Structure 1
Amino acid sequence: MKAFAELLDRLILTPSRNAKLRLLVDYCRTTPDPDRGYAVAAITRDLDIMNVKPAMVRTLMEQRVDSVLFQYSYDFVGDLAETIALIWPVHGAEQMPDLKLSPVVEELRSASRSDGPKLIEKWLDQLDDQGRYALIKLITGGMRVGVSSRLMKQALGDYGGKDVTEIEELWHGLKAPYLDLFDWLDGKADKPENLAPSPFRPVMLATPTDEEELAKYTPSDYIAEWKWDGIRVQLTSQRGVTRIYSRTGDDISHSFPDLVAAVDFDGSIDGELLVGHMRNGKVGTGTFSDLQQRLNRKTISAKKQKEFPVFIRAYDLLQDGQEDLRGLPLVERRKRLELFLQHLPTERFDLSKQIEFSQWNEIAELRLNPPDPVIEGVMLKRKDSVYVPGRPKGPWFKWKRDPMLIDAVLMYAQRGHGKRSSYYSDYTFGVWSGEQDNPQLVPVGKAYFGFTDEELKQIDKYVRDNTIDRFGPVRSVRAEPQHGLVLEIAFEGLNKSSRHKSGVAMRFPRISKLRWDKPASEADWLPTLEMMLN
């Protein structure tokens, strides 16, 4: 437990992505099985401890400390694990030399609901404050150390000298403590068989572009599609199991049981998840706000499913039965996709239509006047492009409709006034600047409206859960490439400014959307704003 606790502490205090990778690789190299496997599962939030809940820990805390004092402390600190680690009163129990991680996990996983709290209480008495912090993080699953599941998989790839895409495709068929995975990474065994019935296939992403950039390319080499304002997903159904993955590989099937129930095929579709509405016998598209009614929910009521039905606008076909199509040119995959969709229910699946054009200026004009308000731009894809993971420059481009929209990362929050005085409702946000391998956030604006009351509560909770420092009434929020809340910011104009570190100042910024689905690393960079100035 000591090594795991030290790892968490060092990750929290390390802002650099590359430095975090080194810490994770070193931990895997120096920590024996099965401890390192359980640590990986805890950090990627793939560790299930079913019979021990955060509420049990709160109850234990209130038995040791006055409930009012605990609540005041928790409100000030903003993190349950840190609060308990600091104020847990030890009643004469002997501290253990080093409580091992694997016995803790295995005992918790096998403990009954009545025995779980007794184990936790015993260990909290035996651990120091650093160990208590790690134990509570292990139980609650909310690490908040700036390490995403993708970054952890990259660290495993670096450790074993493997491509991260190999690990991503295996991941959903693996189980903690990942002994077979580490045997392969250590060179002791062959690559594990992919046991995931519907594996995730790392997605191919598009590069932002503009008219000047496109002039370097030949229009006839590309096809164009509308860029719809939903969320990018991958729907895979194989071996009788259907899963819906976000573009980062998270299984979000539980939020869309109606879509899962409509699947009756073997294959894998890449597309945009949208809310559908029947209009004159045809499926129309709802807004991103409609889709938010279903995102990040563990269960969806029948009423919500009926009110906000979802469908997939298909972009690509990655797998057809047992055949992997990713190595085929886009035009061939497109033909296969058209045939594939003919056998699927039209209220749940449709084809992303191509836009006819011959010159880039035609695309520029169409982009400004799309046929549907839910369209946010155009996608441009080389006809001969194969489907490869990541964001290679050249094969695929995205050109957003409105240049006065950016994706920024929440950096600071301040309490509001009047009826908002108990909420953190005034937000400072930033974009990335500096080197690609060591990005830094620079503030570019502030906003305090554009969100609903329900969204205000969600952001307020996020601020409290992710506070890393305080400056009077202002809280500094954890904001790193692998951990942060992305806000889509709409604004009316942009000016040069010598008063701001970024060199730009926004006119009338507002929060357009909360992008819970988007990693902080995919927020915009300062050169994007500088290009808008021109």
Structure 2
Amino acid sequence: MQAFSDLLERLILTASRNTKIELMVNYFRQTPNPARGWTLAVLTGELDIPGVKGGSIRRLIEDRVDPELFRMSYDYVGDLAETVSLMWPGTRGANRIPPIDDVIEALLGATRAEGERLVAGWLDMLEPPQRWALIKMVTGGLRIGVSARLAKVALAEMGGVEPAEIEEIWHGLAPPYESLFDWLDGKADKPSPDIKAPFRPVMLAHPLVTKDKRDDPEAIDPAMIDPDIFAAEWKYDGIRVQAVSERGVRRMYTRTGDDISHTFPDVLAAMDFEAAIDGELLIRAPNGEVAPFNELQQRLNRKTVTKKQMEARPAMIRAYDILVEGDEDLRSLPFSERRERLEAFVEKSASERIDISPLVPVTNLEALEAARNEPPAPEIEGLMLKRWDSVYEAGRPTGPWYKWKRDPFLIDAVMMYAQRGHGRRSSFYSDFTFGVWREGEDGDEITPVGKAYFGFTDEELKQLDKFVRENTIDRFGPVRSVTANKEKGLVLEVAFEGLQRSPRHKSGLAMRFPRINRIRWDKPSAEADRLETLEKMLPADPLLDKG
């Protein structure tokens, strides 16, 4: 547990992607099997210890300290593992620190009662940093800035292989991944698990215009917009997926390789083919068009889905590409040929659950820019540009594919509440709820319309945190209410990708990907936007259009 705890602490304290990779590479090289394999399972979210959950940890701590004191402390700190690790009244340094593999293997074979007893014993003997690591390990939700993809990149660097090689076999492996590490160490051949309907690493695009050049009219070379070189297609606001049906097995993966098949059985039932296609997962509206992203959110992250939910929000795939057809791998073919094969494939399948993303005529830069900012449907985020001669290459190669998203919506809102962050931000107020003006019973009032926790620099975070601390008017556990009236308040320029109605929110609206674009220290709070301004941005709702 000591080395595992040290790794987590270092990962959480660095913001650098390259440094995180270096830390994981060094850990994997220096740590023997099976400890490093269990650590990998924790980092990638593949470890499930059924006998011990967050409720178990709460019961254990409330048996040892005043429950009211614990609840007050938890409200202030905002993180269960951190709170318990600091409050636990154990005997520190009384015994040796157990290795991570001993801990996990003992817990996997334990009942709930045995698991809680084991965890309590370890918490007694560990120091606070190791307690935190132990609790995070058994409850999940690390929030240390390491994705499953980044952990696989570190593995690839350690073994001198491509990340795609690991991703292609990942779903055929299981913790503690000894065959994987033996291969990466050069002690054995590459594992070759017999995976039916495997995941193929996806191809990603670069922004056509980077954020820092968004206002530069000369950021794009007009000569690049050539119909003989590039194809253009609409970029829909859904979830990028890979639908694979091979050898009697049907699966649907996210772009990062997570298997979400169980959540969309209605789509799987329509996958009566032998192929692997790349596309966008969407919800079909009653009028046959694409429903807002909020409707898709109602189907995501569910362990089970009911017939009623599937009927109310039927899922579909808008296909972008075809990777495999029958026994033929098409990824080495140019996009022009893959597009022809995809069109024939979709026509042959004749499924109401699978259609094709239409191409957009490429004429000149002005016409494409107009199409990007005024697409035929509000559920379109912008355009994709793909070279006709591009092969399907895993990762994000430079040159073949570009995304050109619609300019974001912008509003000026007033900060209302702030909450402490997690990980390296746990000492700062970094999650901000903001609102706009509307007419209330006693005159103008602020109503919340969204929450954002990124878009600002580290220096700006310090300034925002200082404002919160100096302008707090009330506290609600880890949340602070700040001054927000016509005379005083902090205006935030908020960027977002879309807007839809939502009965779950007080304002009746929900934003898509809100983030802080600028801090308007110069703008009086009385001049922030009104709710009516946002309501005018709402698209027509296809769910209400039965025509």
Would you say same fold, with TM above 0.5?
yes
Q: Say how many residue pairs are matched.
A: 465
Residues 429/27 of structure 1: CA separation in 2 closer, same or farther (3 Å cut): closer
Checking the alignment, whether the CA contact within 8 Å between 1:237 and 1:265 is kept in structure 2 is yes
Q: Secondary structure at the match of 1:114?
A: helix
> Which residue does 2:222 correspond to in 1?
215
> Which residue does 1:527 correspond to in 2?
none
My pick for the range that moved more, 193-202 or 9-18, is: 193-202
Of 222, 234, 238 in structure 1, the residue corresponding to residue 242 of structure 2 is 234
Checking the alignment, whether the CA contact within 8 Å between 2:449 and 2:505 is kept in structure 1 is no
User: Residue type matched to 2:238 in 1?
Assistant: G
After superposition, the C-alpha distances for 1:374-418 in whole angstroms (9 at most, x for unaligned) are: 222222211111111223333222222335479xx998235789x
> Which residue does 1:468 correspond to in 2?
none
Q: Distance in 1 between matches of 2:257 and 2:390?
A: 22
Q: Distance in 2 between matches of 1:111 and 1:186?
A: 32
Residues 56/45 of structure 1: CA separation in 2 closer, same or farther (3 Å cut): same
Of 487, 496, 513 in structure 2, the residue corresponding to residue 487 of structure 1 is 513
Of 443, 449, 455 in structure 2, the residue corresponding to residue 430 of structure 1 is 455
Checking the alignment, whether the CA contact within 8 Å between 1:42 and 1:138 is kept in structure 2 is yes
User: Residue type matched to 1:15 in 2?
Assistant: A
Q: Secondary structure at the match of 2:360?
A: coil
> Which residue does 2:262 correspond to in 1?
254
**Correspondence list, 1:180-195, <5 A:** 180-195=179-194
Checking the alignment, whether the CA contact within 8 Å between 1:52 and 1:116 is kept in structure 2 is yes
Q: In the TM superposition, what is the alpha-carbon distance from 1:109 to its structure 2 partner?
A: 0.8
User: Residue type matched to 1:413 in 2?
Assistant: D
> Which residue does 2:313 correspond to in 1?
308
> Which residue does 2:387 correspond to in 1?
382
After superposition, the C-alpha distances for 1:295-325 in whole angstroms (9 at most, x for unaligned) are: 2233223222111111000000011122211
Task: Indicate yes or no: 2:329 matched with 1:324.
Answer: yes
> Which residue does 1:529 correspond to in 2?
none
Q: Distance in 1 between matches of 2:408 and 2:29?
A: 46
Structure 1 gaps, min length 5:
435-439, 458-484, 501-505, 513-534
Q: In the TM superposition, what is the alpha-carbon distance from 1:428 to its structure 2 partner?
A: 5.8
State the identity %.
47
**Correspondence list, 1:277-292, <5 A:** 277-279=285-287, 283-292=288-297
> Which residue does 1:503 correspond to in 2?
none
Q: In the TM superposition, what is the alpha-carbon distance from 1:269 to its structure 2 partner?
A: 0.8
> Which residue does 1:4 correspond to in 2?
4
After superposition, the C-alpha distances for 1:48-103 in whole angstroms (9 at most, x for unaligned) are: 2123222122111221122211111111111111111111112x587322201111
> Which residue does 2:467 correspond to in 1?
none
My pick for the range that moved more, 353-362 or 308-317, is: 353-362
Q: Distance in 1 between matches of 2:340 and 2:330?
A: 11
Q: Distance in 1 between matches of 2:506 and 2:195?
A: 38
> Which residue does 2:18 correspond to in 1?
18
Q: Secondary structure at the match of 1:64?
A: coil
Q: In the TM superposition, what is the alpha-carbon distance from 1:487 to its structure 2 partner?
A: 2.7
Q: TM-score, normalised by structure 2?
A: 0.76
Structure 2 gaps, min length 5:
210-216, 412-420, 465-490, 535-547
My pick for the range that moved more, 49-58 or 396-405, is: 396-405
My pick for the range that moved more, 176-185 or 237-246, is: 237-246
Q: Distance in 2 between matches of 1:236 and 1:138?
A: 32
Q: Distance in 1 between matches of 2:75 and 2:325?
A: 52
- Give the greater-gyration-radius structure (CA): 2
Q: In the TM superposition, what is the alpha-carbon distance from 1:352 to its structure 2 partner?
A: 1.1
Q: In the TM superposition, what is the alpha-carbon distance from 1:447 to its structure 2 partner?
A: 5.0
Q: In the TM superposition, what is the alpha-carbon distance from 1:182 to its structure 2 partner?
A: 0.4
My pick for the range that moved more, 263-272 or 250-259, is: 250-259
Q: In the TM superposition, what is the alpha-carbon distance from 1:453 to its structure 2 partner?
A: 6.9
Checking the alignment, whether the CA contact within 8 Å between 1:95 and 1:128 is kept in structure 2 is no
Q: CA RMSD in A?
A: 3.8
Checking the alignment, whether the CA contact within 8 Å between 1:430 and 1:445 is kept in structure 2 is no
Checking the alignment, whether the CA contact within 8 Å between 2:495 and 2:516 is kept in structure 1 is no
Q: Secondary structure at the match of 2:389?
A: coil
Q: Distance in 2 between matches of 1:433 and 1:236?
A: 42
Q: Distance in 2 between matches of 1:123 and 1:334?
A: 57
Residues 5/204 of structure 1: CA separation in 2 closer, same or farther (3 Å cut): same
Checking the alignment, whether the CA contact within 8 Å between 1:446 and 1:509 is kept in structure 2 is no
Checking the alignment, whether the CA contact within 8 Å between 1:209 and 1:397 is kept in structure 2 is yes
Of 430, 444, 457 in structure 2, the residue corresponding to residue 412 of structure 1 is 430
